[in-house]
Amino acid sequence: MEKAVSKKDSFIFKYLNRMKAGKCCTKPKLCIYQLTITTLGSFIGISFVAFLSAYYNIYLLLPSFGATAVLIYAACQVPMAQPRNVIGGHFFSALMGVSIYQLLGNDWWTISLGVTLAILLMTLTHTLHPPGGATAFIAVFTEQNYSFIFSPVLIGAVSLVIIAVLVNNLSSKCKYPLHWL
C-alpha cells in the first residue's frame, strides 16, 4: 500500500511555501549630497533623452530611458546598471524590435515576439537590462526602421552612461561603473 502524501510533502504546499518572503533588510542611510548628485544626474540625463525623443517625435521612448535612469543614477551598483548592460541591452533590444517589425509587421503577437526575442538575445549576450524590453516594444509598436537603433537609442543609452560616469563619481560613496565589460 502506498502511504498518503502529507500536506507538507505535497507539490502545492512546497510551491506556495517558496513564495514566503523574509524580513525587510535594513535600509541604508540617505545622504543629502548623494541624493543631490542622483537628482542632478537624472535630470541632466533624462533632459537629454527627452530632447532626443522630441527631436525624433518618439515620446514613447522616454519610459524606457526613464527606467534606465533609475538604475544608473539611483541603483548604479546593480549588474543591470553597468554600461555593458545599459548600452548592449538597449542596442540588442532595438535591433530585435526593428528586425521583427521589418520582417513581420506590427501586430499584438509581433510585439510579444520582439520583446521575447530581445530578452533571449540580452540573456545570451550577458547584457540583460530590463528597460530594453520596453525598447523592443517601442521599436515594433512605433514601426521603426534600422536607423532607430543608432539614433535615438544608441546615442541615448551612451549619453546616459557618460552622464552617469561623470555625475555618480562626484560622491566618494559611489563608484560607477563597477566594470565596463
Domains in the chain, number? 1
Backbone angles phi, psi at 100, to 5 degrees: -65, -45
Q: Which helix (H) or strand (E) holds 169?
A: none
Query: For residue 81, is it within any domain?
Result: yes
Question: In this structure, is residue 160 part of a structural domain?
Answer: yes
Specify if 151 maps to a domain: yes
Q: What is the DSSP string of 159-176?
A: HHHHHHHHHHTTSTT--S
Q: Please report whether residue 53 resides in a domain.
A: yes
pLDDT recorded at residue 5 = 61
Contact status, residue 128 vs residue 71, Cβ threshold 8 Å: no
Q: What is the pLDDT of residue 15?
A: 82
**Structure confidence by residue, pLDDT tens digits, 60-106:** 999 999 999 999 999 999 999 999 999 999 999 999 999 999 999 99
Residue 144 lies in a domain: yes
Domain assignment present for residue 140? The answer is yes
pTM of the model: 0.86
**Is position 58 within any domain?**
yes
C-alpha–C-alpha distance, residues 94 and 153, integer Å: 7
Residues with pLDDT less than 70, the chain: 1-5, 7-8, 24
pLDDT at residue 99, rounded to an integer = 98
Report yes or no on 87 lying in a domain: yes
Instruction: Please give the residue range of the domain that contains residue 42.
Output: 29-168
Q: Locate cell 499584438: which residue?
A: 108
3-state DSSP helix/strand/coil % of the chain, to nearest 5: 70, 0, 30
